[in-house]
Structure 1
Amino acid sequence: MKKQLIESDIRYGAIQKAIRFVNYELIEGDVFEFGLYTGRSLALLQIAHEEYLKKSIHKINFSRDFIGFDSFKGMFKTNHPRWEDGSFSTNHSWHPTIKIGEAVTKGKVINFFKTLNLKPPIIIEGSFEKSVKEFLKKYSRKAAIIHIDCDTYENTKLILENIRGILQEGTVIMFDDWFNYKGNSKYGEARAFNEFKSVCKEFSFIDYFNYGTFCKAFISVIKNGLKAAGGL
């Protein structure tokens, strides 16, 4: 089932690349996904991480948690013609354990991970306005990878406003819907991130790679000096 999941997703090579980067660079911290949906992306991130631990000669001496946020109530109506109120509250594509048209729930996502013999992720259920702020305000660890898959400008803006405390040098930020809206950066995730970059005083962001159909990744770098290589 893992093999079929990997082969069905054109993003897996990019997910492997992000995992290899944070593991090789010894970037401690956890893997976050905002917009968990059916759990496929977060499961692939965990599979890639476990694959790295088994096969790579470059070992790490710390563990990672995998953390997903979702309301499981779907999206609100936006100005994108494909989305309506409740979009993504049910599964719309092939999935190993959730049928097309079936309601997506926290319990079904946990069962999906168990079916793949993966450790179930920490799932924070609720609206982003409440759950993201409350959870991250109390969270003491950093993020190695942040996967943002919430499609809209409003939700992406809210997430970015609340992740500063978990960013560190080397955090990989992956946007699943960067090139939506016909690639127009005045909308969606691209607009929210461009606005965030303009006001973020602590970090700059390196363009890492494009992947999949709509996706883009960045690496966060501390402004005014590098901790790596002794600041040289």
Structure 2
Amino acid sequence: MSKNKKSYEQYEFDLRHQLRIAATQESIAYIKKNMNKALCFSHDPSVLFVYSLPKIQNKGLILEFGVRKGKTIKEIAKRINSKKCYGFDSFEGLPEDWSGQPYPKGAYSEKGKIPALPKNVQIYKGWFHETLPDFLKKNKEVIDFIHFDCDLYSSTKIILDLLGDKIMKGTILIFDEYFNYPTWQQHEFKAFQEFVKKRNVSYEYLAFTSKSAVCIKINEIKSK
């Protein structure tokens, strides 16, 4: 058997490979139906920040959920000058298994270690349901920008449930794992679509990357 034929058969019968292909096709169908006016960028973690941060209203909070090593929050911080950016992470990894993915509970753990970050970044260390209530007591502003990099439905839902009253017309949301992987309909995508239905939200897709991230602008929230 030739090397090429062996490689082909290996992938042809590999379930994860085939599930990823199916997820890509489902994502393409969703893009064609719902995102015709959105820009499509290469897969670069910083590209959506470069595009979207100049569009924020500068009226309120800039937040990131899922800081880990600090790469993306550093990108955000350097593009907002002296304005403060708030990061939320347990630094203990995923709080539960990421279904359909090879990432069990605890994956992405930094063993509790907070990375070195710019002076205009303030970290809230802990699980979202524990840190957000205290944060909201101290910060009454509306929200300009949220970067979601927390992967799971449960984590994303907690954020949207607790911050829903502060998300306004003009708020920019970036979801890092919105689609294009097996079970994408069950995680960040699902949590946002439930929020849209619950709050009667009008929104538009501004941009997406070639892998999995999207940039969304809130146009109206009819139910509070």
The higher-RCO structure (CA 8 Å, 6+ apart) is 2
CA–CA distance in 1 between the matches of 2:120 and 2:138?
A: 21
Q: Name 2:204's counterpart in structure 1.
A: 206
Amino acid of the structure 1 residue aligned with 2:58:
I
What's the counterpart of residue 72 of structure 1?
Answer: 91
Partner of 1:13: 47
Q: Write the deviation string for residues 141-199 of structure 1: whole angstroms up to 9, x where unpaired.
A: 122110011000111111110112321221100001101533x5531100111111000
User: Quick one: percent identity of the two aligned structures?
Assistant: 25
- Residue aligning to 1:32: 63
Distance 1:180 1:160 in 2: 22
Q: CA deviation at 1:104?
A: 5.7
Q: Would the alpha carbon gap of residues 212 and 31 (structure 1) be closer, same or farther in structure 2, given more than 3 Å must change?
A: farther
Query: Helix, strand or coil for the counterpart of 2:68?
Result: coil
CA root-mean-square deviation: 2.1
Instruction: Choose between structure 1 and 2: higher strand proportion.
Output: 2
Amino acid of the structure 2 residue aligned with 1:86: G
AA aligned opposite 2:170: G
SS, match of residue 133 in structure 1: helix
In 1: Cα distance, 2:71 partner to 2:140 partner = 26
2: distance between equivalents of 1:200 and 1:216? 20
Q: Give distance in 2, aligned partners of 1:72 and 1:150.
A: 11
Structure 1: give runs of 5+ residues left out of the alignment: 1-8, 51-62, 91-102, 225-232
SS at structure 2 position matched to 1:49: coil
Q: Alpha-carbon deviation of 1:131?
A: 1.1
- 2:215 aligned partner: 217
Q: Shift in Å at residue 36 of structure 1?
A: 1.2
Higher radius of gyration, 1 or 2: 2
The verdict on how the C-alpha distance between 1:28 and 1:212 changes in structure 2, with shifts beyond 3 A counting, is farther
Equivalent residues of 2:168, 2:221 under 8 A apart:
no
Structure 2 CA distance, aligned partners of 1:77 and 1:18? 31
Cα distance in 1 for partners of 2:138, 2:164 equals 13
Q: For 2:63 and 2:109, locate their aligned partners in 1 and report how far apart those are by CA, in whole Å.
A: 20
The TM-score with structure 1 as length reference comes to: 0.70
Partner of 1:4: none
- C-alpha change, 1:223 and 1:85, in structure 2 (3 Å) is closer
Q: CA deviation at 1:134?
A: 3.0
Unaligned ranges ≥5, structure 2: 1-42
Q: Normalized against structure 2, the TM-score is what?
A: 0.72
The match for 1:136 is: 136
Task: Give the 3-state SS of the residue equivalent to 1:33 in structure 2.
Answer: strand
